[in-house]
Chain A
Amino acid sequence: SQKIEQNSEALNIQEGKTATLTCNYTNYSPAYLQWYRQDPGRGPVFLLLIRENEKEKRKERLKVTFDTTLKQSLFHITASQPADSATYLCARGSQAGTALIFGKGTTLSVSS
C-alpha cells in the first residue's frame, strides 16, 4: 500500500528558531509531494508542491526537500513566528489518478 507518515504528532519551538517537520513514505517513490497547513476549525490550505526530480523548493520562509534515497521530505520554516502555529500535513500522489494520500499531520506550536 502507499503509505505516508509524519513522525511527530507535535513540535514545540521558540520564536525565531527554524522548525523542521518530517514526512516519510513507503513503497514506490511518488512523483510529487505536497504540504498543507491546517488551522483549527478550517480546511487544509495548500502551501508547496515539490516534484521528484526537484531536491529543494522555497517560498518565502518555507523550504521543502525531497530525498528519494531516504524516502523522505523535510519541511522547514525559518525565523518561525507564533502565527506559524498550526497543523502541517504532507501528502503524496496516488499511483494513478488525481487523488492524494495524506499523513496525519504534525502540530507546530511556536512560543514567543
Chain B
Amino acid sequence: DAGVIQSPRHEVTEMGQEVTLRCKPISGHNSLFWYRQTMMRGLELLIYFNNNVPIDDSGMPEDRFSAKMPNASFSTLKIQPSEPRDSAVYFCASSFSGTGGNQPQHFGDGTRLSIL
C-alpha cells in the first residue's frame, strides 16, 4: 500500500515568493494533519482536518499560512509571502479519525523548505 505522499521533497525559494506544499493521504483515512518540525521547537501541529473539514487551525503561525483539503485524497499548505523564518521541514500525516490519541498517525517523508 502506498503511504502518505508529499511533494516536493525539497523546496528552495526566495523570500516573498509563494510556496505550495502538497499531500496525498493514505486511502481510507479521514483525518489529515500538517506539522512543522524545527530543531528549536520540535514537531508542531499546524492544522488538522476531519472528513475534509478543518477542525483546529490554532497552530497556524499567521495569516500568511493557509491550508485546504478539497477532497479526501489531496491537501495543500500554502505560505504567501514566505519569510526566512518559515524554513523548516513540513510533514503531512493521516489516520483514521478517533479521540484522545487512540489512532496511530502515518507520516510522509516531509518537505524540506528553505527560504533565502
Return chain B residues, CB-CB under 8 Å to A89.
43
How many chain B residues sit at the interface, stated as a range, is: 20 to 34
How many chain A residues sit at the interface, stated as a range, is: 20 to 34
B47 shortest CB reach to chain A, Å: 10
C-alpha spacing A41/B109, complex, angstroms = 7
Q: Are A97 and B55 in contact (CB under 8 A)?
A: yes
Pick the contact of A32: B31, B55, B100, B106 (CB < 8 A).
B100
**Does B50 sit at the interface, judged by CB under 8 A?**
yes
Q: Are B102 and A43 in contact (CB under 8 A)?
A: no
Q: Are A34 and B108 in contact (CB under 8 A)?
A: no
Q: Are B43 and A44 in contact (CB under 8 A)?
A: yes
Residue of A nearest to B48 (CB): A99
- Within B60-116, which residues are at the interface with A (CB < 8 Å)? 91, 93, 95, 97-110
Contact A31 to B42, CB < 8 A, known contacts A42-B109, A43-B110, A98-B31: no
Return chain B residues, CB-CB under 8 Å to A46.
104-106
0/1 interface trace, chain A 73-112, chain B, CB 8 Å (1 if under): 0000000000000000101111111111111110000000
Residue of B nearest to A97 (CB): B55
Pick the contact of B99: A44, A45, A49, A96 (CB < 8 A).
A96
Query: Most chain-B Cβ atoms within 10 A of its Cβ — which of A41, A92, A98?
Result: A98
Return chain A residues, CB-CB under 8 Å to B103.
98
Q: Are B95 and A105 in contact (CB under 8 A)?
A: no
Seen from chain A, the residues whose Cβ lies within 8 Å of a Cβ on chain B are 30-34, 41-46, 49, 51, 89, 91-105
9 other A-B residue contacts (CB within 8 Å) besides A32-B102, A46-B106, A92-B101: A30-B101, A32-B101, A33-B101, A44-B107, A49-B102, A94-B101, A98-B55, A98-B99, A102-B42
Ranked nearest first, the 5 interchain pairs of A and B with the lowest CB-CB distance are A93-B101, A43-B107, A104-B42, A31-B100, A93-B100
